Structure 1
Amino acid sequence: MQPEIKLSVRALVEYVFRSGSIDNQFRTVTTLTEGTKAHKAIQSTYKETDQKEVFLKTVIEYEKMMFVIEGRCDGLLFSRDEVIIDEIKSTSRDLRGIDEDTYPVHWAQAKVYAYIYAKDYERQEMNVQLTYLQVVNNEQKQFQKRFTFPELEQFVYSLLKHYSSYASLMHDHRVRRDKSIKELQFPFETYREGQRKLAGAVYKTISEEKTIFANAPTGIGKTISTIFPTVKAMGEGKLERLFYLTAKTITRQTAEEAFSLMKNKGLCMSTVTITAKDKVCFKEETRCQKEYCEFANGYYDRINEAFLDLFSHETFINRATIDEYARKHTLCPFEFSLDLAFIADAIICDYNYIFDPKVSLKRFYDEHKKSTAVLIDEAHNLVDRAREMFSAELQKSNFLTLKREYKGTHLYDSVNRMNKYFIELKKKCTEEGHLVLKGVEEELVELIEEFVQSAETELLQSTNSEAQVLLLDTYFAATAFVKIAKIYDERYVSYVEVEKNEVQFKMFCLDPSHLLQQISKKFRTTVYFSATLLPLQYFMDMLGGRQEDYTISISSPFAKEQTDVYIQPLSTRFRDREHTKKQIINMLSKMVMQRPGNYLVFFPSYQYMKSVYEDFSINHPDIPTIIQNHSMTEDEREQFLKEFKEESTESLLGFAVLGGIFSEGVDLKGDRLNGVIVVSVGLPQLCLERNIMKEYFQATGKNGYDYAYTFPGMNKVLQAGGRLIRSEKDTGVIVLVDDRFLSQKYQGLLPSEWREFELL
């Protein structure tokens, strides 16, 4: 049986015709935001007999493979006996710089559509038209060519000749992959308690094309329990790819280790980790310009050869493999990882590559998503991350600076109007220095759109300067603002906040659930999982859960006897912190003397942590301490964790912040961690945003205070406490410092294994 290769017209022609360099000199994003509008503007001029967005498909046998090629042509125009294929392209370039042969890939795309149509309707000749629309001034430019059917057929077969080696390699890879998956066994000798239940639930969810919310305790092995059944489903043809989304580097590494473990058991699978550009860049400065970077210069001339080389020799692709082949073929490792992600079996990356409307992977079309599963690790983090991804803000100071820097240019009028608008907003603010608004401020959006157009013109003309850096940053913030304005609805609020001379305007997403649901339902399956998806109903509400979605809660596999839980009923409220600080310091020293070992002590803020740390260090200089600092580098984080040594002869107190880098995703097994002390119930700091959220949820019939403060705070507490018991052999102590932990509400939010406690 001949292998069937499905591909889009666009994918075929781009593979063959892409060439040139990565050059991140300024490129307008108007093409992306206005492309659909431009198509509709051209299509609105068509005659009634013409057709738009016409689906075309053909099957071609070539080199013992069946190629199924399909796509939508922009326009099908009829004039007497003539048929014209119209391919529409929008651009911000001056059309005088575009001639008939500037973009061969555009002709290629149109010619493939012309071939399919001519083949279906037995036409011997076809007209092909390229229509370019300048999105700023709406100018148009058209080119037209005429081709015979034999010419079109010869052209399409020449494309397949170039593409077939790659298609054959990819097909062979998938055959090996599926065979290896069928033979793959669970990579551990036995399942831990609860692991088989979670893995079975994930497999059932994928099979039935559903969504699941899974609360599974720390230490159960959630990563392998979600990845393994997803991989098995892929081998059975239920999926083409999977995304593993994480919020932190350390959890990305855990996912990589899970795939590596399965590779050692025989799995043949391409797994790509997308790492931030500045972390993987081979150059001293992250400047993607062909004059500066040899890895950017001529990138697209070498990418296909790199693909063929990599898939000819590798059965497993991870970050190290990407680096090796990127250096070998002189390719930018970041762009290489993005290109590989488009064809990989599994992609490990940050949440924003799927959910952020400003930076998501645009190359993944809806037809790909229908055969894709999304696994969302530490899903509790997605609530606040989604709020930020779906929000947008602007500052007055940027426009004031630009007004000064660009005096005498055409940009001046635009930034001057923006600055004046912010001045008027400032006048409207209350004595408290803020103003809350509902609905999109249409006048502001219009001013921003004017600024975007003026900024584009300036950026396309100007050379690098400090002023241009600010203009570029403000331009991207403005385009993001316009994008968010288009999805703004009743789940949003706008607010203005004034601090001294600064005025900030923010469109704030109060409830991200609807947008998350709209994005996730495009995929075959979404799996939300975390050790602290509690209360479950709260997270389902916030993450877009529906009544028909599956839920599962796995009990802790660890014995209650492994953890001694204490509550010290002191007030850690802001007004009482100075009064109770001495008692907390006494408790810490007593705990270390009675139960020597390594402890992590978590506080709700840097200021509170630093205050206790300084007094403790003065009063107990004999007890070693370390403290988390603002903006620690990866090396500094690793050094902090290395201080927690196994079988150490002296105790150590590590001071850290709740919700920070050490309160989740940290795996200090065995004797490396003997206790966790959590000071406070973790409530977020009182602020305008949280209070607006509280009022919003209260108005929707929920407990506004719990949704804005209590539940997010307790999630941090549970995450911090989860650092302690990581395996069946771990033991230790948890101390919860706050009198509110004794209240009925907070008792109900504690895990069952923490509810048998003693008072200190």
Structure 2
Amino acid sequence: MGKPEIKISIRNLVELVLRSGDIDNRLVSSGRMLEGTKIHQKIQKQGGELYNKEVSLAHNYETQDFIFRLEGRADGIISEPGGVVIDEIKSTARPLELIDEEFSILHWAQAKCYAFIYALQNELQNIYVQLTYFHIDTEETKNIRKLFSIKELNEFIEDLLDKYVVWASISDSWNKQRDDSIKSLQFPFKSYRRGQRELAVAVYKTIMQGKKLFAQAPTGIGKTISTLFPAVKALGEQHISKIFYLTAKTITRQVAEEAFSKMRECGLVFRTITLTAKDKICFNKGGSCNPDFCEYAKGHYNRVNNAMEDVLNTSQNLSREVIEEYALKHKVCPFEFSLDLSLWADCIVCDYNYAFDPRVYLKRFFLNNTGDYAFLVDEAHNLVDRAREMFSAQIHKSAYLEAKKLMKSKVPKVAKILNKINSYMVTLRKQCAEEGFIISKTELKDLYRLLNNFISESEEWILKNQNNNIEGFEQLLEVYFDSIAFTRMADFYDERYVTFIETKSMDVRVKLFCLDPSYLLSDAVKRGKTAVFFSATLTPVNYFMDILGGDKEDYNINLASPFDKDNLCLIVNDNISTRYKSRDKSYDKIVDIIWSSISKRTGNYVVFFPSYKYMNEVYTRFTEQYPETNTIIQETSMTEEERESFLNRFQSGTEKSLVSFGVLGGIFSEGIDLKGDRLIGAIIVGVGLPQVSPEQNIIMDYFKNKNRMGFENAYMYPGMNKVLQAAGRVIRSEHDVGTVILLDERFSNGNYRRLFPKHWEHVLRVQDTGQLEKRLEQFWIDKDMDKVNT
């Protein structure tokens, strides 16, 4: 048997072995220096024909125990008459006169690794290494160049890998244990549910072939285990190297953790990590990553490797709680600690943003390279709006005006630019006239220039004063970051974007609005090898395949519900209009329908409305008419504790009915799991259409031109997915029994009926409360008889 091969990127190798000191994410490093692409391109272009840019390099370096697969990408390789130069470009806000040969051991190390590989492969005895520092404000450059022999570079690599061997041993030992456990791993349940094996097989084949799969799998199939189990098997067979389980909600992350826990009970050895947002996991709440003010940032890199070794030897499930525990024990920053640990995890459970958002995606995995990763995208119907949000950016006039007033006496130069930005937006406000908004397909290049000037001018002052507790500092900082986000998103602007300018009172909002995220999502998915998009509601699947960046070669699957359809009494009352203009006539009818529904069986019910205003009006009338009934209502913004308290009201075996009032598309209409008799009925008011707005209409016009499906893309499909999600709260397991009542005349319209899932074929139609009561009464009698007979 040959030596084990360990694959590692040169950047990760160098950082792991050589880093030391503090975390010091001062302003520039967390803002502009993350986006070095333009700077690199500018310097590379100046190099002319002799400058070979972005050169991928790889080499197998054999030692006594391992073969190390070293991979990386050199910024530039310059062929000069005097010899070959490896160029490494770094952007900085530090004055160039303060940067010398000793400035960064990490910068030299990375470039020397590239130089070694290139010299070896091209049989060079000597090679130059050059560090090119680019000052982000003055745009001046400084070159520091040294000549190395192949012997010196070989000794350097030898020493570097010698220090890395301890980590290689940890990795190799782990991989062997993990792969052995995967080989013998059986599906962690006694049998597959209906549709479950079909989904698992489809996921496995998709991963094997490096394709994308779009899977609609109704509640009860067990989507999480049916996607994770085949992905784990594929990883054990080396088809992929890492799984990214991507979610929109904390609760679905917990479901993924539970699935791994179940597989570990069956013998799986597998390291998982759950990433938590920086602001939630930070120990130094409200503080910056500044060693002067955070004890966890100070000396972090001196301690983090010991912390990693400790936790990797003791835990497979790197949950938030485990990360916090070891971060406190070793006094390291929990967020940066979790990012480092992610390199050692087999599955990363995290928000969509970490894979797709250009502002925050995990650069250690996705910058300048792609990997053989599998993206498992849970609740994929949520990704449409989230993707539009990720690829859009906006700024507000009021923020710049406020910052200008605060900075007028402190930094007149910055205040002057802020005033120009404010004046520019005043001009935009006038152009909006009476209509209140402008939709433009052209970019505001003059605004971009003003924002870039502001970023440059304010940067130095912010850096110098970020620890001085100056009034107005936080406001200026917020405007600074908003400006960076806005100008950065402008790089993506194309025919799929519009510039949306809107006025409200005296304020102006300018938005770079991504109408169609399909191209950018498709591009983001290419950072991995394969992707599975799954949800209980991907209806119609062609719409989701298109908007989420699928193509004709990709797969889709639409699975039937595993539950007995007779356990759900599904009723449409189409003798009621919930359209905006008819709502005032519907309030009392809905009150009657709620009462008729709950009077046939004591239990817990939820009524979903298209808006808070509609909900509050019906709630007021219902509680006035039936004051003895237990009711709760969803508030516009609820804390985690308030949400938990709300859900805790849904108890089994209740002796008095509970009616909860919520909104479609809200926090309680999807993602909650009230099994058994904790919820026995849902009433859904309306077809869930998003509120009519200029922005939704822009989306509608775009798709009207693209595929003649404007209304469907902007309103109908998103609305019906909200309805299907809300209805899915009732039947959560094979033993659940309940009712779903759909209230709206449009539910009998063919265009909407075509969006009903297969397991809704038995839907019943009623036109008054008398018919409704009869249907419900008969349903509950039948269910009681079923219990007696079994």
Query: Which TM-score tier does this pair reach, normalised by the shorter chain?
Result: over 0.9
| From 742, 755, 769, the counterpart of 1:736 | 742
- Quickly say closer, same or farther: Cα 1:574–1:85, change in 2 above 3 A: closer
Q: Which residue of 1 aligns with 2:465?
A: 462
CA contact (8 A) 2:369 2:527 kept: no
Q: Which residue of 2 aligns with 1:114?
A: 115
The amino acid that maps onto 2:382 is N
Deviations 1:643-676, CA, capped at 9 Å, x for gaps: 1001112111111111011111110000101101
SS of aligned partner of 1:654: strand
Q: Which residue of 2 aligns with 1:630?
A: 636
- CA shift for structure 1 position 619: 1.6
The amino acid that maps onto 2:248 is A
Q: Which residue of 1 aligns with 2:418?
A: 415
CA contact (8 A) 1:195 1:225 kept: yes
The worse-fitting range, judged by mean Cα deviation, of 680-689 and 58-67 is 58-67
Matched, 1:603 2:609: yes
Deviations 1:61-115, CA, capped at 9 Å, x for gaps: 2241111223233344455554443322221221122222121111112222333
| From 644, 654, 658, the counterpart of 1:652 | 658
Distance in structure 2 (CA, Å) of the matches to 1:694 and 1:115: 55
Matches within 5 A, 1:534-545: 534-545=539-550
Deviations 1:221-272, CA, capped at 9 Å, x for gaps: 0110011101100000100001111111111111111111111111111111
Distance in structure 2 (CA, Å) of the matches to 1:701 and 1:128: 53
- CA shift for structure 1 position 505: 0.9
Q: Which residue of 1 aligns with 2:333?
A: 332
CA contact (8 A) 1:411 1:458 kept: no
- Quickly say closer, same or farther: Cα 1:250–1:88, change in 2 above 3 A: same
Q: Which residue of 1 aligns with 2:443?
A: 440
Deviations 1:385-408, CA, capped at 9 Å, x for gaps: 111111111111011112211115
Matched, 1:503 2:508: yes
Distance in structure 1 (CA, Å) of the matches to 2:193 and 2:740: 24
- CA shift for structure 1 position 9: 2.1
Q: Which residue of 2 aligns with 1:210?
A: 211
CA contact (8 A) 2:130 2:145 kept: yes
Deviations 1:437-496, CA, capped at 9 Å, x for gaps: 112121222222212212222312223434221222112211111122111111111121
- CA shift for structure 1 position 287: 4.2
Matched, 1:172 2:173: yes
- Quickly say closer, same or farther: Cα 1:76–1:583, change in 2 above 3 A: closer
CA contact (8 A) 1:669 1:727 kept: yes
Matched, 1:751 2:757: yes
Distance in structure 2 (CA, Å) of the matches to 1:614 and 1:527: 44
Distance in structure 2 (CA, Å) of the matches to 1:462 and 1:481: 24
Q: Which residue of 2 aligns with 1:347?
A: 348
| From 680, 688, 693, the counterpart of 1:687 | 693
Matched, 1:359 2:364: no
- CA shift for structure 1 position 501: 0.5
Q: Which residue of 2 aligns with 1:269?
A: 270
* TM-score of the pair, normalised by structure 2: 0.93
Distance in structure 1 (CA, Å) of the matches to 2:371 and 2:277: 27
Distance in structure 2 (CA, Å) of the matches to 1:158 and 1:144: 22
The worse-fitting range, judged by mean Cα deviation, of 187-196 and 260-269 is 260-269
SS of aligned partner of 1:683: coil
The worse-fitting range, judged by mean Cα deviation, of 605-614 and 390-399 is 605-614
- Quickly say closer, same or farther: Cα 1:415–1:367, change in 2 above 3 A: closer
Q: Which residue of 2 aligns with 1:551?
A: 556
The amino acid that maps onto 1:640 is F
- Quickly say closer, same or farther: Cα 1:466–1:582, change in 2 above 3 A: farther
The worse-fitting range, judged by mean Cα deviation, of 114-123 and 16-25 is 114-123
Distance in structure 2 (CA, Å) of the matches to 1:81 and 1:457: 39
The worse-fitting range, judged by mean Cα deviation, of 128-137 and 352-361 is 128-137
CA contact (8 A) 2:700 2:710 kept: yes
CA contact (8 A) 1:263 1:316 kept: no
Q: Which residue of 1 aligns with 2:305?
A: 304
Q: Which residue of 1 aligns with 2:775?
A: none
The amino acid that maps onto 2:462 is L
SS of aligned partner of 1:186: coil
Q: Which residue of 1 aligns with 2:769?
A: none
The amino acid that maps onto 1:422 is M
Deviations 1:482-540, CA, capped at 9 Å, x for gaps: 12211111111112111111111111111111111121133211101111100111111
- Quickly say closer, same or farther: Cα 1:522–1:24, change in 2 above 3 A: closer
Deviations 1:571-629, CA, capped at 9 Å, x for gaps: 11222222221121122122212111000111111111112112212221111111111
- Quickly say closer, same or farther: Cα 1:438–1:746, change in 2 above 3 A: same
Distance in structure 1 (CA, Å) of the matches to 2:552 and 2:125: 56
The worse-fitting range, judged by mean Cα deviation, of 112-121 and 675-684 is 112-121
CA contact (8 A) 2:282 2:333 kept: yes
CA contact (8 A) 2:521 2:548 kept: yes
Distance in structure 1 (CA, Å) of the matches to 2:152 and 2:557: 59
Gaps of 5+ in 1: none
Matched, 1:721 2:727: yes
Distance in structure 1 (CA, Å) of the matches to 2:48 and 2:494: 36
Distance in structure 1 (CA, Å) of the matches to 2:101 and 2:68: 30
Matches within 5 A, 1:5-24: 5-24=6-25
SS of aligned partner of 1:548: coil
Q: Which residue of 2 aligns with 1:155?
A: 156
- CA shift for structure 1 position 284: 5.0
Q: Which residue of 2 aligns with 1:235?
A: 236
SS of aligned partner of 2:365: coil
SS of aligned partner of 2:36: helix
- CA shift for structure 1 position 699: 1.7
The amino acid that maps onto 1:647 is G
- CA shift for structure 1 position 747: 1.8
- CA shift for structure 1 position 50: 5.6
- CA shift for structure 1 position 218: 0.9
Would you say how many aligned residue pairs link Structure 1 and Structure 2? 760
CA contact (8 A) 1:173 1:311 kept: no
- Quickly say closer, same or farther: Cα 1:149–1:650, change in 2 above 3 A: same
- Quickly say closer, same or farther: Cα 1:365–1:710, change in 2 above 3 A: closer
SS of aligned partner of 1:22: coil
CA contact (8 A) 1:245 1:348 kept: yes
Distance in structure 2 (CA, Å) of the matches to 1:55 and 1:381: 36
Q: Which residue of 1 aligns with 2:776?
A: none
* TM-score of the pair, normalised by structure 1: 0.96
Gaps of 5+ in 2: 767-771, 773-790
CA-based RMSD of the aligned residues comes to 2.0
Matches within 5 A, 1:701-716: 701-716=707-722
Matched, 1:640 2:646: yes
